[in-house]
Structure 1
Amino acid sequence: MPGHEDFANLIPDVVGRFGLWPLGEPIPVTSGTLNWNFAVETDGGRKFVRRYRDDLLLDRIRGEHALVVWLADRGVPVPVPAQTPADESIIQMVGRWAVFDWVEGEVLPRGSLTPSQARTLGMAHGRIQSLLAGHPLRRRRDDADALGQGGVSRPAPAGADGRPAFRRGNLGAGGPGEAASAVGSHGRRSAQVVSVSAGPGASR
């Protein structure tokens, strides 16, 4: 299996495609398990550069990027993918790449959360789940399910301020197409999205 060292020499060209100039050597971010991630100092600040694994479909990546932007537009503090001058968030260069703003933080070992951290994480997870329940692809799936059962779908419950209420639970995967699958996978991993570590959202 390729290692970070197999892709590090491509980083200057990758960030250059996003209008950035590297100011130092790329540093591997090794906490991910599915992709190859790097921290890179640039003239536009520190960036998180991801080289996606080869078996990840392009539509899936695009759906994931669109979902992150959708959540950011609704107040979730997630870094959105950078855009090239051609308004693309993914480039092809010996594989597929994306660039995000760097997010400072720490990776907490499994089982080490304090009660306070667990409560905060649970509240954030519930908020994201409630938002995801209102995603157009999820609502489309719910509408289809309701019609099949002779019923009607209902909007996600709102809090006193009119915003989606906190709740616990798992959105689950499903729905049409790869973007719908991305909605489901982000539902399951939303805790990673907000407990950002060294890099954007999930460091996978």
Structure 2
Amino acid sequence: MSAYPPGSASTDPAMTLEAGQTAKILRPTARFMLSHPAHFIALGFGSGLSPVMPGTVGTLYGWLSFVVISLWMQPSAWLWIIVGGFLIGLWACARTARAMGVHDHGSMVWDEIVAFWLVLAFVMPTGFWGQFAAFLWFRLFDMAKPAPIAYYDRTLKGPGLRGGFGVMFDDLVAAFYTLLVFALWRSF
């Protein structure tokens, strides 16, 4: 039984399915994002809807939100925000992945946002160019997926909270590599 009248074709990927059916959403819409709080979070408050390089746009959103929120927060509060963001991300990414029918859809950018918050929390205080370098290194590691990032990206994906952990964890490893580069750079 379809949610649409016979003979009509729907272009909306968020359609009603019968029990046991699955759908793969290739490109989420604003309507899909707003249909559930988990989707709104996982899609980075809309930054993941970018048709071009949503992971990069999500990371830019993470950078902007860090700078703005830091105007009102003590630096030590960021560790609590990051831990809370990670835990919320487990749920939001798992729920959104299930709804989209894809374990780690490119539009789910909450993992980039939280991981980049972690990078900025540790490299601050630094000026624009230091933050920009952190952005470039993080995007390089996130896209290139050097070992063991590619391994975790492949093996930890799946349904449920384990899959949500897989979505979030590989970006934390990219954040660790970025912080390692900064630690080496600052040691010289």
Per the TM superposition, whether the score is higher than 0.5 is no
More strand by share: 1
More helix by share: 2
**TM-score computed with the length of structure 1 as normaliser:** 0.25
**TM-score computed with the length of structure 2 as normaliser:** 0.26
